[in-house]
Amino acid sequence: MLTYLIQRFGQALLTVAAMATLVFLGVYAIADPIDVLAAPDATPDERAAISQRLGLDRPLWMQFATFVWRALHGDLGRSFVYNEPAFTVILQRLPATLELAFTALFIAVAIGLPLGLWAGLRAEKPTDKAIMGGSILAFSLPNFWQGLMLVLIFSVTLGWLPAGGRGETVRVLGLDLGFLTLDGLRHLILPAMNLALFKLAVVIRLSRAGTREAMLQDYVRFARAKGLRPARIVGVHVLKNILLPVVTVIGLEFGSMIAFAVVTETVFAWPGIGKLLIDSINRLDRPVIVAYLMLTVCLFVLINFVIDLIYAALDPRVRLAEANT
Amino acid sequence: MTQTPETARRTPALRWVRGVAGLAISGVVALAAGAAQARDLRVGLSAEPTSMDPHFHNLGPNNALRRHIFESLVDTDAQMTLKPSLALSWTPRDSTTWEFKLRPGVTFSDGTPFTAQDVIYTFCRVPLVENSPSSFATFVKPFTRVEAPDPLTVVVTTDGPLPLLPTNLTALGILSAKASGASGAVTFAKGNCTGMGTPPRSTDFADPKVSVGTGPYLLREYVRGTQIVLAPNPSYWGAKAAFDKVTMKPIPSTGPRVAALLAGDVDLIESPAIQDLPRIEAAGFTVTKGLSNRIIYVHLDQFDGPDWKTPTIKGSDRNPLRDVRVREALSKAIDRKAIVERVMGGVAQAAGEVLPYPLSGTTKDFPIVPYDPKAAKDLLAQAGYPNGFEITLGTPNDRYINDEKVAQVIAQMWTRIGVKTGIDASTASTFFTRRNKFEFSAYLSGWGADSGDMSNSLNSLLLCFDPAKGLGFTNRGRYCNREVDRLTVEAMATFDEAKREGLLRQASALAMKDYPLIPLHFEVTPWATAKGLRYAPRIDQYTLVMNVELAK
Indicate yes or no: CB of A165 within 8 angstroms of CB of B227. Answer: yes
Interface test with B, best of A125, A234, A262 (most B CBs within 10 A): A234
Rounded average pLDDT over B436-460: 90
Indicate yes or no: CB of B13 within 8 angstroms of CB of A121. Answer: yes
Residues of B in contact with A31 (CB under 8 A): 429-430, 432-434
Indicate yes or no: CB of A50 within 8 angstroms of CB of B48. Answer: no
Residues of A in contact with B436 (CB under 8 A): 32, 35
Given A117, A215, A268, which is nearest B17 (Cβ)? A117
Percent of all residues in chain B with a pLDDT value above 90, rounded to a whole number? 65
Reply yes or no on whether the pLDDT at A50 is more than 90.
no
Indicate yes or no: CB of A230 within 8 angstroms of CB of B8. Answer: yes
Indicate yes or no: CB of B460 within 8 angstroms of CB of A40. Answer: yes
* Nearest Cα to Cα of residue B354 among B428, B445, B230: B445
Given A107, A124, A282, which is nearest B4 (Cβ)? A124
**Residue type (1 letter), B329:** A
Burial class (CB in 10 A: 0-12, 13-18, 19+), B407: buried
Q: What is the pLDDT of residue A318?
A: 59
B418 in Cβ contact with B334 (< 8 Å) = no
Interface test with A, best of B29, B134, B140 (most A CBs within 10 A): B134
**Torsions phi, psi of B292, nearest 5?**
-110, 175
Given B4, B20, B263, which is nearest A156 (Cβ)? B263
The distance of B168 to chain A (nearest Cα, Å) reads 13
Given A122, A189, A283, which is nearest B28 (Cβ)? A189
Reported ipTM exceeds the 0.95 cut: no
Lowest mean pLDDT among A16-25, B208-217, B220-229, B540-549: A16-25
Distance, in Å, from the CA atom of B109 to the CA atom of B188, rounded to the nearest integer, reads: 25
Rounded average pLDDT over A226-242: 79
Indicate yes or no: CB of B35 within 8 angstroms of CB of A183. Answer: yes
Indicate yes or no: CB of B433 within 8 angstroms of CB of A31. Answer: yes
B440 in Cβ contact with B298 (< 8 Å) = no
Given A159, A182, A215, which is nearest B5 (Cβ)? A215
Q: Which residues 281-310 on chain A approach chain B with CB closer than 8 angstroms?
A: 281-284
Q: What is the pLDDT of residue A304?
A: 75
Reply yes or no on whether the pLDDT at B23 is more than 70.
no
Residues ≥6 apart with Cβ < 8 Å to A177: A95, A99, A169, A170, A171, A184
Mean pLDDT (chain B) is 88
Distance, in Å, from the CA atom of B142 to the CA atom of B156, rounded to the nearest integer, reads: 10
Indicate yes or no: CB of A40 within 8 angstroms of CB of B51. Answer: no
Read off the pLDDT band of B308 (50, 70, 90): low
Indicate yes or no: CB of A42 within 8 angstroms of CB of B203. Answer: no
Distance, in Å, from the CA atom of B416 to the CA atom of B128, rounded to the nearest integer, reads: 55
A235-240: long-range contacts, CB 8 A cutoff, minimum separation 24 = A235/B13, A235/B16, A238/A117, A238/A210, A238/A211, A238/A214, A239/A113, A239/A117
Reply yes or no on whether the pLDDT at B485 is more than 90.
yes
Q: What is the pLDDT of residue B2?
A: 39
SS3 state of residue B442: strand
Indicate yes or no: CB of B265 within 8 angstroms of CB of A163. Answer: yes
Q: Does A175 touch chain B (CB under 8 A)?
A: no
Lowest mean pLDDT among A15-29, B221-235, B365-379, B439-453: A15-29
Residues of B in contact with A185 (CB under 8 A): 31
* Nearest Cα to Cα of residue B80 among B498, B360, B339: B360
B82 in Cβ contact with B76 (< 8 Å) = yes
Reply yes or no on whether the pLDDT at B311 is more than 70.
yes
Q: What is the pLDDT of residue A315?
A: 62
Residues of B in contact with A233 (CB under 8 A): 7, 13
Reply yes or no on whether the pLDDT at A227 is more than 60.
yes
Digit-coded pLDDT (tens) for B251-291: 988 888 999 999 888 999 999 999 899 999 999 999 999 99
Interface test with B, best of A28, A30, A34, A35 (most B CBs within 10 A): A35
Q: Which residues 44-73 on chain A approach chain B with CB closer than 8 angstroms?
A: 44-46, 49-50, 53-54
Cβ neighbours of B376 (radius 10 Å): 25
Residue B153: enclosing H or E segment and its boundaries? strand B153-158
Residues of A in contact with B280 (CB under 8 A): none
Give the pTM. Answer: 0.82
Indicate yes or no: CB of A231 within 8 angstroms of CB of B227. Answer: no
SS3 state of residue B146: strand
Reply yes or no on whether the pLDDT at A49 is more than 60.
yes
Reply yes or no on whether the pLDDT at B22 is more than 80.
no
Q: For B449-546, list the strands marked E by DSSP.
A: 517-529, 533-535
Q: What is the pLDDT of residue B34?
A: 36
The distance of B268 to chain A (nearest Cα, Å) reads 14
- Please state whether beta strands B442-448 and B517-529 pair in parallel, antiparallel, or not at all (unpaired): unpaired
- Chain A's closest residue to B248, CA to CA, is A165
Rounded average pLDDT over A20-28: 83
B35 in Cβ contact with A182 (< 8 Å) = yes
Residues of B in contact with A268 (CB under 8 A): 256
Interface test with B, best of A45, A83, A131, A155 (most B CBs within 10 A): A83
Reply yes or no on whether the pLDDT at B7 is more than 50.
no
When comparing pLDDT for B8 and B217, which is higher? B217
Residues of A in contact with B28 (CB under 8 A): 189
Q: Does A75 touch chain B (CB under 8 A)?
A: no
Rounded average pLDDT over A284-308: 82
- Chain B's closest residue to A273, CA to CA, is B225
Q: What is the pLDDT of residue A12?
A: 81
What is the interface size between A and B, counted as CB pairs within 8 Å? Answer: 230
Indicate yes or no: CB of B5 within 8 angstroms of CB of A166. Answer: no
Residues of B in contact with A117 (CB under 8 A): 17
Indicate yes or no: CB of B12 within 8 angstroms of CB of A231. Answer: yes
Indicate yes or no: CB of A164 within 8 angstroms of CB of B259. Answer: yes
The distance of B264 to chain A (nearest Cα, Å) reads 8
Interface test with A, best of B1, B3, B7 (most A CBs within 10 A): B7
